[in-house]
Amino acid sequence: MGWLAESNWQLHISLIVLLSMHTKGALAGPVVDPHVTAVWGKNVTLKCIIEINGTIIQISWEKIHGKSKQTIAVHHPEYGFSVQGEYQGRVSFKNYSLTDATIILNNISFSDSGEYVCKAVTFPLGNAQSTTTVTVLVEPIVSLTKGPNSLIDGENQTIAAICTAATGKPAADIDWEGGLGEMESSSTLFPNETVTVVSQYKLIPTKFARGRRITCVVRHPALKKELRYPYTLDILYAPEVSVTGYDGNWFIGREHVQLQCNADANPLPMEFTWTRYPSGAPYQSVHEYLQHFPPLLDNIL
């Protein structure tokens, strides 16, 4: 215990139990939060405010295990604070006041879910207690990845992006914004009651959707606000070709004329080839430009 020999402490507890057996019902229960949500791996505060006019002999916290109770922490006006067993290093009293038995429980784990009792023993009013139920939540791990296959203009419905909310408790809610396709979700429940949700966003690829944004939206009670993951669509499509540069006024002897081959495609064209019609012979060019600087002849093209 650190602040009391074990034999004296056991005697002290026995006297408190006897006192509580002979004085009943006169004290209103401590003020607690009936239901508290805690997030796995983080800290939680369990409130306990004691409002009385009598003398406080001792205040304590216990955790209920079926039909038994486990003492967590004790605050005694003479002997000070004591944290029991496995809770040492994890539990601390928020204040040093006997009328405020609020504790902070650190590094929450699944085993911390359940019912907790804040108990006050007083004289001459007796003892009173109130119960707080703790529910442990697990914040999901969220990721967004592109679909397994490229989005190609004109193809059938394809997975554009995959949003995953892994090992959350309870299951996360996944939604999509964008209005270009539809979602398909599945979930996997694990023995520790965490759930992984996978949501696929599917659409029929069209070149007009290139550059459009879709957004995965994840909601979960352990999150302070919804998570938003944007994704920009990249649609592959074949070149659409046009030629510009001819102004309708090409004549024999005109110099420095140029044609440009315009190709709208994704990805961009790697090579441009100019050929003479109708012979099909290749024509000298620089990338997408066909340039002719000498005076035009009647058979230039």
Q: For residue 7, what pLDDT is reported?
A: 38
CA–CA separation, 109 vs 87, rounded Å?
12
Q: Splitting the chain (301 residues) into consecutive groups of 10 residues, what average pLDDT does each group show?
A: 40 42 55 95 95 85 93 91 91 90 95 95 86 97 97 96 98 96 97 97 95 97 96 94 84 81 87 72 60 57 50
Q: For residue 10, what pLDDT is reported?
A: 41
Q: For residue 298, what pLDDT is reported?
A: 61
Q: For residue 22, what pLDDT is reported?
A: 41
Q: Same domain, yes or no, for 186 and 219?
A: yes
Domain boundary, last residue among 196, 212, 236 = 236
Residue 211 lies in a domain: yes
Q: Same domain, yes or no, for 125 and 153?
A: no
Domain boundary, last residue among 236, 254, 277 = 236
The closest of 157, 140, 160, 130 to 230, measured between CA atoms, is 160
- pTM for the full predicted model: 0.75
Q: Same domain, yes or no, for 133 and 178?
A: no
Domain boundary, last residue among 192, 220, 236 = 236
Q: For residue 288, what pLDDT is reported?
A: 62
Residue 23 lies in a domain: no
Q: Same domain, yes or no, for 169 and 116?
A: no
Tokens representing 189? Answer: 């429940």
Q: How many domains does the chain have?
A: 2
Residue 250 lies in a domain: no
Q: Which CATH number is 160's domain given?
A: 2.60.40.10
Q: For residue 257, what pLDDT is reported?
A: 79
Q: Are strands 55-65 and 173-177 parallel, antiparallel or unpaired?
A: unpaired
Give me the domain span that covers residue 218. 141-236
Residue 26 lies in a domain: no
Cα-based torsion angle of the residue sequence 105, 94, 31, 40 in order, rounded to the nearest 10 degrees: -20
Q: Same domain, yes or no, for 152 and 64?
A: no
Q: Same domain, yes or no, for 204 and 110?
A: no
